[in-house]
Amino acid sequence: MVQSVFFLLLRYALCSLRYALKPGTPLALSQIIIMDPQEQPVSIQHLSLRLKIPKSTVRFWEREFEGILVPLRTKGGQRRYTRKHISMIEEIQKLRGMGVNLTEIHAHLMKNYGSGMDDLNQSKIDFLADRVAEVVREEVYRFFDRDAEEMLKQ
């Protein structure tokens, strides 16, 4: 398990070097795996405007459906919602509009979506992979800078 995570992170770091070699350039693992730009996670602001739901309601639903509705997080802790999250929130919105209570919605979501902990773990892996990629990018830059300085001295 640890070995496979290590190779996944190493592969990610090498891919990120290929796509963005400049230190400080953010690159999420989802950008390598998901090529369609429409698949990129959206902020709570974007979600709120798109679905016409107050941000406070989205946050309330996250607390109410803890472990099911688990958004991804950026390094700074900002929420990011995938297409799966958006469809789940649309379903909650529809069921609430039909007068279904939160307990029944919870049971419905558990049946149809299960636990959102996979997304949480993916978020942690993305965070770790971003940090590893940043370290690798910086080391590559230092390596090339040293070579350039040595060549200038000769």
Supply the pLDDT for residue 110.
87
Average pLDDT over the chain, rounded to an integer: 76
Q: Which element (helix H / strand E) includes 129?
A: helix 117-153
Which domains, and CATH codes, for the chain? Answer: 2-153 (1.10.1660.10)
Does the structure show a pLDDT above 50 at 23? no
Reduced to 3 states (helix: H, G, I; strand: E, B; else coil), residue 76 is: coil
Cα(82)–Cα(71) distance, rounded to whole angstroms?
8
Q: What is the mean pLDDT of residues 3-23?
A: 51
- Answer positive or negative: Cα dihedral of 116, 121, 127, 133: negative
Does the structure show a pLDDT above 70 at 20? no
At 36, the pLDDT band (50, 70, 90 cuts) reads: very low
Reduced to 3 states (helix: H, G, I; strand: E, B; else coil), residue 53 is: coil
Tokens of 85: 């999250």
pLDDT higher for 57 or 10? 57
Count of C-beta atoms within a 10 Å radius of residue 70: 20
**Side-chain half-sphere exposure of 25, counting CA atoms within 13 A:** 15
Cα(97)–Cα(134) distance, rounded to whole angstroms?
45
* C-alpha Rg value of the chain to the nearest Å: 20
pLDDT higher for 104 or 33? 104
What pTM was estimated for this model as a whole? 0.53
